[in-house]
Structure formats: C-alpha cells, structure tokens
Structure 1
Amino acid sequence: MPASQDLALFTRQVLIVLALLAVLVLCWALTPVFMLVFGAIVVAALLLSLASLLRRFVPMPHGLALAIVLVVLIGGLGLLLWMFGAQATRELATLTDTLPSAYAQFQQWLGETSVGSLVQEQLDRVRDNMGRIATGAGAIAMTVSSGTIDMFLVLVGAIYIAAQPEMYRNGLLHLVPPSAKTAAADALDASGRALRLWLGGQLVAMLVVGIMTGIGLWLLGVPAAFALALIAFLLDFVPIIGPIVAAIPGILLAFTVSPQVGFATIALYVVVQQLESNLLQPLIQQRAVELPPAVLLFSLVIFGSLQGVTGLLLAAPLTVVVYVLVKRLYVREVLGGDTAVPGERE
C-alpha cells in the first residue's frame, strides 16, 4: 500500500476517534439536559397512566382524557393549598425554627444517659460535619429555588409528550437500524409500562406512608405532625435514603417532648417502614418491577453524586428503565437468555 494511502487511512481513523471523543464530551456536558428530558418522560408517564385509567371507565379520546386529568390535578392541587397551605407553612416554619434547639437538647439528654458515652464519639463527628450538612442543605435550597424554570420546562415537556406519545416513540425508532427495530420497539413499550406501574405503586406507597406517619405523630403529640407527614410523603419517593432522611427531624422534635415520646417515634418510623417494605412493596412489585436492593442503592449513590438532587430524585425511575432495557436488549437479544422482562405484555 502506498505511503499516501497509509497516511490517509491513519488520518481517517484519528478523525473518527476524535469525533467519538467529541460526541462523548458533548453528551457528558448535556447530561443535565438529558436529566430534564427524562424528568419530563417520568411526569408524562404519570399523566398517561391517569388518562388511561380514566378512559377505562369512560370511553373518550385521548386528548380529552389528558385535558381532564390536567384540570383535575391543577384544581386538586389548588384545593389542597387552599385547605392546608397555611397550616403546612406554619408547621414548616416551626420545624425550621425548632430543629437546631431540638438537636442540642437531644445531644444534652444523650450525654446525661449511660449510653451517651458509647455514642459521644459519633456525635462529635456529626457536630464537626454540621457545617458540611448546612452547606449541603443550602445547596439543596438554592437548587430548588433556582430550578423554577427547569420545573416549568419539565412540566411543559411532559404535557407535550403525553399528548402525542406515539410520535416521540416512532421518532426514536427511526434512529434504530431496521434489523433491530422490532426488539427496540418491544423494549421501549416494556420500559414505558414498567415505569408507569412503578410510579403508580410508588405513589400509593408514598400516600400510605404519609398518612400513617402523620396519624402516628399526631397521636404521640409530636409538634408539627402535619409538616413531618408531608416530608415523609415526599421523601418516600427516593427509596432507601428518603425514609431515613425524613425520620431525622421527627425523631429530634419528639425528644423535645420527652425521651419516651422520642423512642416511641423511633419505633413508629421503624414500624411504618417495615410495613412498607414487607407488605406494600411486595404487593407493588408483583405488578411492577422488582429491583435488586443493591442495584437500587448504588444507583442512588451514583446518580446522586453525578447530578446532585436531580439525580437522586430520578435515580429510581431511571434504574427501572435501564433495568428493563438491559434485560430485553442485552440479556435476551444479545446473550439469548430466557429472562422475564418487567412491563412486557404476556
């Protein structure tokens, strides 16, 4: 082969490698945008599930069902804000003002007990890291306050996707080679159904956890029970980590009442989470997708580390989708394995 042809081949290979690297760098830089797109897909999946449920009872066009769902959701949210918005605001303000003194009181009480010396070293480490925790909380608050535009984009994108889901599905399939189009279509449909089932089950679990937590804290006489129940409801969307974080302010406030109420509150959170883990989640997983706990835990750590609060919120639904796609496209298509695919029609 002439030297000029060798040089041309080498140059072509170098350009291909550089182009691939450029694409990878661009994809990495656009990761926050991809997370917003996936957030819109998650919300769209919820809207589609509600619209499909409505159409089961009352036959109607998809657009009309989606419009009714949006009106009901917006109206219901407005009604909840009108009925409980003032109470939630007051209790959240009380919670914010009381937590620092509650932690100090809990630490003082623990230092006076026989078990205090056993955990004093751990408490010292916590105290040393309080600045980092406060910084992290401030970062979360800044993320939430500065994410209004992102939230608006997610909601608008979700409505567009939910209005014409087939158009976006077919658009993705146009990017797939014809030989793999059938498998890709099946994988997309299965992942979409699995995501909708997971979201429905998770929302039911969140509602049950919030109600049980609120009633239990109210019966125990813990301050700001409604706000703590709201926190438990919202943070339960993040598996494993969310319930632990939600329990901390409730336990601290309970110890301001008395040690007995504090230990009873610990027992309450443990019982609620055991009921969710051993009763609710198995029932949900029968119809949705059973994720290996280790996979879910490490996905929370990975996506939370890469994308912060957004990654933590979307880690579980993203894991559901990736789990289905891997089982359908890799385990079954590439490896030829006989595996059950969550969300696949029987």
Structure 2
Amino acid sequence: MLDDVEFIRKILIALGIILLALIFWKLSGVLLLAFGAILTAIIFHSAAEALERYARVPSRWSLATAAFIFLVILVGLVLLFGAQIRTQLSGVIQGLPAAINDFSKSLGLGDVTDEISQAFNDQGSGGLAARLAGIGGTILGGLGDFFLVIVAGLYIAAAPKTHVDGLVKLFPVNQHRRVRSSLHASGEALKLWLVSQLIAMTCVGVLSTIAYWLIGLPSPFALGLIAGLVDFIPFLGPILGALPAVLMGFTVSSEVAIWTIVAAFVIQQIEGNIIFPLVARKVVTVPPALALFAIVAGSVLFGTYGLIFGFPLAVVAYVLVKKLYVKETLGEETPVPGETPAESH
C-alpha cells in the first residue's frame, strides 16, 4: 500500500513539473517582457544612484528625478528630431525595395522586387490588406509592450527589495542567503553590462550618423538611429544595423555602398577596440561562442524578444552557473562577475 502511495505521489510530482513547464512555455513572451522590465529597472536604479552620488539629489527623489529626466530627453528628441527622423525613416522604408533590387541586380539575381510584388498580387487585395493589418497590429503591440516594460520597470526600481524578498521566499529558508547573493551578483553584472552597452550604442549611433552624412547617404539620421539601437544585440546587431545603410548605398552608387561598408567596419572596430574596453573594464565576459549560440537560440525559441534579450539572459545564466555550480557546488575558485569581496568569501 505504501509503495502505491509513493508511486502515485511521484506521478503527481512529475505531472506537476510537466504542467509547470507548459505554463512557463505559454507565458514565455510575458516572462521575457518581465525580464525587460528588470533591465529597465536596473537602468533607472543606476541613474538614480548616480544622481544621489554626483548631483546630491535626496534618495527619496532620485528615482522620480531620473524618470523625469528620461521623459524630458525623450520628449525633447521627439520635438527636435521627431519630424526629421520620421521623414527619413519613411525614406528608408520607401527606398529599401529599390536598394534590394539594385543589390540583387549587382549579384546577377534579377529584379527581386517584381517577384515580391507579384507574390502579393497573387494573394489578392484581401491578402494584402490582411498583411498590412498584421503589420499595423505588430507595431501597436510593440509600442504597448514598450510602455508596459517602462512602467513595470519603474515599479520594480521603486521597490527593488520588496520584489527580491518575494522571490527569495519562494525557496527554502536554508537557501535564502545563496539565492539573495546570486540575485545580487546577477543584478550587478547586468548593471555593468547595460551601462557599458548604452554608452557604446550612443557612440555607434553618433559615429554612424556622422559617417553616413559625410558619405552622402540618404536619411543619415534614421540610418544612424537604426545602427545605434540594433547595436544592443551583440555580434549580430552591428551586421543588422549596417545592412540598411549598405542597401541604401547601392541606390546611390556602388562606390557609395563600398564606402558605407568600410565606414561600418571602422566604426565597429572603434567600438570593439576603443569604446567598449574603456567603459566595460569590469563587465562580465561571456565566451563569444556561448553568447552567439544564446542569441540564436533565443531568436529561434522566442522570436524577436528572444533575439533582443538572448545575450543579457546568457549573462545571468553565466553568473549563476559560475557562482552556484562551479564555485559553491564543485568548490572551484573562480571570479564571479558582480560579486562583492564580502560575498566571495
């Protein structure tokens, strides 16, 4: 009888684990947005700490001040450059088909845009309308997710201890210290990486805009903005960010396209060998192959959000494996990014 009860208990536990895994899989998009909110909270919290330390802003007002500065900068950029960037982005979108067509012709592939147009026409007006409606819905959904991440990030940044304590209490009491220490190390490693990445993104965006303007590319501000934003994704980001500029270069001339490739290559060399080493001396260094596979795996499993958050998730996993498994389970001495000297002993 006892054996039957034990067998049933194990079956129920296995079913519970399977059910929990299915729930996590179904909620993967929401969980990735929650991770994005955590990254946003780290940015706001770091800005608030900087205001406290350097601007002597009282702690109770530092986060509100950081959020207000972020809002002012965002509104200011929209007012100053919004119309220009919107116009240039429209120019990029309208010019890309011709750019792709010129590039395909240079490779001897013929007129690709005609084949794409024919594919749309074959589906009829209903199919085209459905596709356009889907694109519009995707854009609106992306904007909604963006604001959700910002608002949730502010809530987390306003009460980080409350959220950390709630997560720690999900584990047994004898594991609270390890879990809290691991969360702190992961948060510090993410903060180091985020700050350095944001500085690098800004430098890449500015340098790309100047370079594309000097080369004579159409819509240099929009192309520079794309290069800076997409640079958030390591390894693949620089390639994806430079691709629209290179394609636009083919609409002008092959010489301009070549100069665009050279400019993008030089900018990435400056970022990798000068900018990033200066701002990321203590940042966690995930092995390049592991990081690349993490980004690709994230995009395959979770789509666009997996591509965006694949590397920071790899940072967290790398820190946790080094701390909880290599250091504390195996007993190997290894430096853990984000861990303070007091926590390392």
TM-score of the superposed pair, with normalisation by structure 2: 0.89
- Cα displacement (A) at 1:280: 2.3
1:267 has 2:262 as partner: yes
The letter for the 2-side match of 1:51 is A
Q: Residue in 1 aligned with 2:200?
A: 205
Report the Cα distance in structure 2 between the residues aligned to 1:126 and 1:284, rounded to whole angstroms: 43
- Could you tell me which of 188, 191, 196 is aligned with 2:191? 196
Deviations 1:16-40 (A, max 9, x none): 2222222222222222221121111
Deviates more, 1:235-244 or 1:285-294: 285-294
- Cα displacement (A) at 1:230: 0.5
Q: Residue in 2 aligned with 1:147?
A: 142
The letter for the 2-side match of 1:235 is V
Deviations 1:64-119 (A, max 9, x none): 000011111101110110000010011111111111112222333444xxxxxxxx
Report the Cα distance in structure 2 between the residues aligned to 1:223 and 1:307, rounded to whole angstroms: 34
Q: Closer, same or farther in 2 for the Cα pair 1:129/1:340, shift >3 Å? A: farther
Q: Closer, same or farther in 2 for the Cα pair 1:248/1:176, shift >3 Å? A: same
2:100–2:112 contact (8 Å) kept in structure 1: no
- Could you tell me which of 167, 179, 182 is aligned with 1:184? 179
1:304–1:311 contact (8 Å) kept in structure 2: yes
Q: Closer, same or farther in 2 for the Cα pair 1:78/1:106, shift >3 Å? A: same
User: Which structure 1 residue ranges, 4+ long, deviate > 4 Å from structure 2?
Assistant: 123-132, 134-142
Q: Residue in 1 aligned with 2:245?
A: 250
Alignment of 1:8-27 (within 5 A): 8-27=5-24
1:222–1:253 contact (8 Å) kept in structure 2: yes
Q: What's the secondary structure of 1:147's corresponding residue?
A: helix
Q: Residue in 2 aligned with 1:341?
A: 336
Deviations 1:235-255 (A, max 9, x none): 000111121111111111112
Q: Residue in 2 aligned with 1:289?
A: 284
TM-score of the superposed pair, with normalisation by structure 1: 0.88
Q: Residue in 2 aligned with 1:161?
A: 156
Deviates more, 1:41-50 or 1:97-106: 97-106
Q: Residue in 2 aligned with 1:173?
A: 168
The letter for the 2-side match of 1:214 is T
Q: What's the secondary structure of 2:281's corresponding residue?
A: helix
The letter for the 2-side match of 1:326 is V
Report the Cα distance in structure 2 between the residues aligned to 1:195 and 1:275, rounded to whole angstroms: 23
Q: Closer, same or farther in 2 for the Cα pair 1:290/1:141, shift >3 Å? A: farther
The letter for the 2-side match of 1:335 is L
Report the Cα distance in structure 1 between the residues aligned to 2:131 and 2:56, rounded to whole angstroms: 49
Alignment of 1:288-307 (within 5 A): 288-307=283-302
Mind listing any 5+ residue stretches in structure 2 that lack a counterpart? Answer: 121-127
How many equivalent pairs are there?
332
The letter for the 2-side match of 1:14 is I
1:222–1:257 contact (8 Å) kept in structure 2: yes
The letter for the 1-side match of 2:53 is R
Deviations 1:179-202 (A, max 9, x none): 222222221111111111111100
Alignment of 1:1-346 (within 5 A): 4-111=1-108, 142-346=137-341
Q: Closer, same or farther in 2 for the Cα pair 1:322/1:126, shift >3 Å? A: farther
Identity level (%): 40
